[in-house]
């Protein structure tokens, strides 16, 4: 399956991802600037991404803990999610995630 990342400067990279892995893992393997400081424990927002509106509905809903952290994320948008909380499946093939302009360890 493939995932596209849109960098802060607007450049796009398409990467091959494995079903079952987290979006964060695919991003880090590609060298995207997502820290994932808490290791996926839903305790920070350093893996905040903005999902393309046309792809957002394909994702399972965010947990309350994730929503709380997204409230603290810098440059948050209606389609913001934490990349550590998105497990990639075949149904998410072609997902587009934009790296926001800034990150905050909130």
- Name the residue among 52, 43, 49 with its Cα closest to residue 26: 49
Model pTM above 0.95:
no
Written as tens digits, the pLDDT of the chain (106 aa) is: 999 999 999 999 999 999 999 999 999 999 999 999 998 999 999 999 999 999 999 999 999 999 999 999 999 999 999 999 999 999 999 999 999 985 444 4
**Residues of the chain with pLDDT > 90: what percent?**
93
Cα–Cα distance between 94 and 63 in angstroms, integer?
23
67 contacts 82 by C-beta, under 8 angstroms? no
Give the tens place of pLDDT for each residue, 68-90. 999 999 999 999 999 999 999 99
3-state secondary structure of 55: helix
DSSP 87: B
Which residues, in sequence order, are bridge partners of residue 3? 15, 95
Question: Of how many residues is the chain composed?
Answer: 106
């Amino acid at each position: 399956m493939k995932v596209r990342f849109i960098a802060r400067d607007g450049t796009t990279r398409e990467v091959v991802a494995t079903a079952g892995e987290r979006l964060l893992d695919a991003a880090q393997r590609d060298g995207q600037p997502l820290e994932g400081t808490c290791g996926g424990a839903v305790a920070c927002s350093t893996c905040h991404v903005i999902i393309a509106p046309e792809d957002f509905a394909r994702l399972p809903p965010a947990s309350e803990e994730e929503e709380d952290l997204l409230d603290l994320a810098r440059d948050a948008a209606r389609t913001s999610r934490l990349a550590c909380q998105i497990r990639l499946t075949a149904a998410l093939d072609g997902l587009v995630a934009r790296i926001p302009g800034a990150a905050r360890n909130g």
